[in-house]
Each structure stands twice: as C-alpha cells, then as structure tokens.
C-alpha cells in the first residue's frame, strides 16, 4: 500500500517509524516531514494546511491511506476535504475534531453527559472573566478556548499573574482568535495521566497509558510547553484507576460524541488528573499526542497499519491489539530559549552515538550533509528497557551524547515512577 502521513514533527516521525515496519507498506510519504523523517519516508514539500495540494498529490500517487498528525488541519476540516475527493483518511472529521479545537464545547459536553472534570466557567469578555477571579483562590487555571500549540493553558499562582494571563489572551490576543473565549477552572491536584485510544464511534481501544511533563524545567517549574518528555507504563498508578478512567471518561465521551451527531474516528487523547475523588478530565485532543506517541508506539506489537485500516473501515471492534511489557522513556532536547523565542540552524552532533535508543526528530532539517535545528523541541530520545529505570538510563545516556549549542532538557523525566 501507499501511505501519506501529514505533519512534520516528532509525532509524525514516530508514526512513520511504526508504519515502516509493516510488510503491507510499499511506499511511505510524509508531507512536509523533517530531516529525520527523510530516513524512513519520502518527504513531500507540501504544508499541512495546503489541503487541495495534499489531495491532488494523493490522487496523482494513488495513495491508499492518509494519516493526519497535527491538530490544526484536523480542526480546519482536512479530513472532510480529502474524503470529498474519495480518499481514505485516518483522523476525525471537522465536527468531531472540535473536541480539541474548542475547550468551551468540550467542557459543556462533559457537563451535559456527567463526565468527571474540573469545575469551570467560560467567558467571552475580559471584564467578567477578571471579576470571576475574585471568587476563586490561587492557583488559577486559565485556558484559551482554541488551539495554541500546546501553550494555551496558564496556571497562575497569584491573582496578578491570572489577570495578566487573561489580559494577554483576551485583549492583547497573544494566541489570536483562540483567545476569543476562555475557560477558567478549578486547579486539580494529583497525578497526571494520558490515555490515547483508537476510536471508531462507540468502539474504543485504549493504548497503554503514559505520563507527560509539560513544564519546561525540573520539578514542574516554569511555563508550559508542548511536552518535555514522557514515559510508559505507570507502575505507581493502579490498574483499577486506569480502568476507571476508561469506563467513566473515555468510553462515555466517545458515546456522547455519537449522540451529538459528531462520531469520532481516529485517535482520542484523554489528558487526565488522578485526584482524591478519582480520575477527572483535564482535556481531550483529537490526535496522537506529542511526545506520548514516541513512547506508546514503540510498545505496540500489532501492525499499526492494520489498526488504521480497521478504524477507517469500521472493523476496529474486531482488532486484538497487543502491547509489549517493555518500559519506554522519552526525553525532549530543546533549543535554547524554548518555549519562548529560540535560534535556528544550530548544528547537531552525536546522533550516531545514541546507541540503541530511538531518536525521533521534531525540529530538524538536513543541511550540507548534516542535521541542524529548526524548531523549539528538536529531538525526542526514547529508551526502551525491562523497567522504567533501565529505559530511563538508556534515554539519558543517549541524550547526553547528542550535542548542539544551548541544548536543554529536563533531568527528572519518569522520576515519579521510581519513588
């Protein structure tokens, strides 16, 4: 089969890496791809928002399946456009991708269907939102309604911080139209957990759970990022809690979307908090997580293409999906300055010294026969092992050997699993 993956980050590198292992894949393309993806797929210079160009490439090259990686094109209706051209696509249609594209929609869905989540209020004007802060105690959780590259959630420790965050989002428009509405919700405490699931309507097939690290610095300090590292499994979270989250949150959400006339087909990503009152929902995403994908897919034993095809063709209920017992830990190597502004074009050295760790490229390009940085998150280094300690040691050993100017990364990824 001929497959086209749409996207160009670490998530798409992991998807291409997994698809490349399938004996059914004859030709693998990625648009636009990146420096590392070029080693496993033919990169096509078409941007993720060029829907018609992607559709025409798929028609011209007899593409059997398109796989959509990022959130923006999903929320903008790429699946609808491609399906209108008679193409098979793995990913939710626009009316289902709203579960990530609008936090207000999703919170109201939770309320209507009694799905556990943090208490909240939504606002479309700055003054009433600011006045609502007076009713709360810090810390304050403020979320831009729309997509903001994983940076639209601010946890403010003081009312001054919260007021500034609201002003920046709703008045200055630091996230553009994504800040036309905001959600202000209670601050949940506990362990975070991510569960990605293959979903086709009411059929839900959960993947192995993972835990992400959003804050840029050790000890969960500093501003939120797109994710600085992740790991799986979660030995410190009981299976009963994981099962409870699937039964009380993920499956009911899939059913709710069907009931709303928005059946979801693709990967539904639940961001959860394990509170004293049980699992609650922080957010839902409409696609594979990044960097969760870089630890989850290396544990997948079943052919990923078979799962994609079963989902698209309404046969997901017939799939028996198998996972390895291995642990996986991914450490993100970031550019100096990230998640604020950062330089590009820094030469990367030591990639051949990564040992048996997997190296997923997120922000790199090939230049003059070598790799240089081109994004905030540059590389995801994934170690595999019999347990978290072994996987973690492999990831950090490789991370230390890879070099570029100003490289920074968290040194405490997966430490919670070792306590």
Q: Omega of the bond prior to 32 within 30 degrees of 0, cis?
A: yes
Pairing of strands 327-334, 377-385: antiparallel
Q: What is the pLDDT of residue 186?
A: 87
Cβ count within 10 A of residue 171:
11
Q: What is the CATH number of domain 2-90?
A: 3.40.50.20
| CA distances from residue 410 to 124, 212, 235, 400, 407 in whole angstroms, order as listed | 36, 12, 21, 12, 11
Alpha carbon 300 to its chain centroid, in Å, reads: 17
Provide the pLDDT for residue 178.
Answer: 86
State whether residue 136 is helix, strand or coil: coil
Q: What whole-number distance in Å separates Cα of residue 245 and Cα of residue 311? A: 22
Q: Domain residue spans in the chain? A: 2-90, 119-185, 191-318, 327-418
Q: Is 52 exposed, middle or buried (CB count within 10 Å of its CB: 0-12, 13-18, 19+)?
A: exposed
Number of C-beta neighbours around residue 174 at 10 A: 16
Residue linked to tokens 């990367």: 348
Task: Please report, for residues 117, 199, 252, 257, 297, the alpha-carbon distance to residue 112 in angstroms, rounded to integers and kept in the order given.
Answer: 12, 21, 11, 11, 33
Q: Which residues pair with 285 in a beta bridge?
A: 269
pLDDT at res. 372: 97
Extract the runs of DSSP E, i.e. beta strands, from 18-100.
27-32, 42-43, 65-68, 89-90
The runs of H, that is alpha helices, within 265-303 are 293-296
Encode the chain (419 residues) as per-residue pLDDT tens digits.
Answer: 999 999 999 999 999 999 999 999 999 999 999 999 999 999 999 999 999 999 999 999 999 999 999 999 999 999 999 999 999 999 999 999 999 999 989 999 999 999 999 888 889 999 999 999 988 889 999 999 888 877 788 889 999 999 999 999 999 999 999 889 898 998 888 889 999 999 999 999 999 999 999 999 999 999 889 899 999 999 999 999 999 999 999 999 999 999 999 999 999 999 999 999 999 998 999 999 999 999 999 999 999 999 999 999 999 999 999 999 999 999 999 999 999 999 999 999 999 999 999 999 999 999 998 999 999 999 999 999 999 999 999 999 999 999 999 999 999 999 999 97
CATH, range 119-185: 3.30.1490.20
**CATH class assigned to 191-318:** alpha beta
Second-level CATH architecture of 327-418: Alpha-Beta Complex (3.90)
Task: Determine the Cα–Cα distance for residues 66 and 354; give it in Å rounded to an integer.
Answer: 31
d(CA 326, CA 316): 24
Distance CA 3, CA 234 (A): 33
């Amino acid at each position: 089969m001929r497959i086209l993956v749409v996207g160009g980050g670490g998530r798409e590198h992991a998807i291409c890496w997994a698809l490349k292992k399938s004996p059914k894949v004859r030709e693998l393309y990625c648009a636009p791809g990146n420096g590392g993806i070029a080693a496993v797929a033919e990169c096509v210079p078409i941007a993720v928002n060029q829907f018609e160009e992607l559709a025409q490439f798929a028609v011209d090259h007899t593409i059997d399946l398109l796989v959509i990686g990022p959130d923006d094109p999903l929320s903008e209706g790429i699946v609808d456009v491609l399906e209108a051209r008679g193409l098979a696509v793995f990913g939710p249609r626009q009316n289902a991708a709203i579960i990530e594209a609008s936090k207000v929609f999703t919170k109201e869905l939770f309320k209507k269907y009694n799905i556990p989540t943090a208490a909240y209020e939504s606002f479309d004007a700055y003054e009433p939102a600011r006045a609502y802060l007076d009713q709360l105690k810090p810390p304050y959780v403020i979320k831009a309604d729309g997509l903001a590259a994983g940076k639209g959630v601010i946890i403010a420790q003081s009312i001054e911080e919260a007021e500034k965050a609201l002003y920046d989002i709703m008045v200055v428009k630091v996230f553009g139209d994504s800040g036309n509405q905001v959600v202000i919700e209670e601050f949940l405490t506990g362990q975070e957990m991510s569960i990605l699931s293959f979903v086709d309507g009411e059929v839900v097939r959960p993947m192995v759970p993972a835990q992400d690290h959003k804050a840029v610095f050790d000890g969960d300090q500093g501003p939120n990022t797109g994710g600085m590292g992740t790991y799986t499994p979660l030995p410190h979270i009981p299976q009963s809690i994981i099962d409870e989250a699937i039964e009380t949150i993920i499956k009911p959400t899939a059913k709710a979307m069907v009931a709303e006339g928005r059946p979801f087909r693709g990967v539904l990503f639940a961001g959860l908090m394990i509170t004293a009152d049980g699992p609650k929902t922080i957010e839902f995403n409409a696609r594979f997580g990044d960097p969760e994908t870089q630890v989850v897919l290396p544990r997948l034993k079943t052919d990923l293409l078979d799962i994609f095809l079963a989902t698209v063709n309404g046969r997901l209920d017939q799939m028996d999906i198998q996972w390895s017992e291995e642990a996986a830990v991914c450490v993100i190597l970031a550019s100096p300055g990230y998640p604020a502004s950062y330089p590009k074009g820094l030469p990367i050295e030591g990639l051949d010294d990564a040992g048996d760790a997997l190296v997923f490229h997120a922000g790199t390009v090939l230049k003059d026969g070598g790799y240089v940085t081109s994004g905030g998150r540059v590389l995801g280094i994934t170690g595999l092992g019999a347990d978290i300690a072994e996987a973690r040691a492999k990831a950090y050993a490789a991370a230390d050997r890879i070099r570029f100017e100003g490289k920074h990364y968290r040194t405490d990824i997966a430490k919670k699993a070792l306590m």
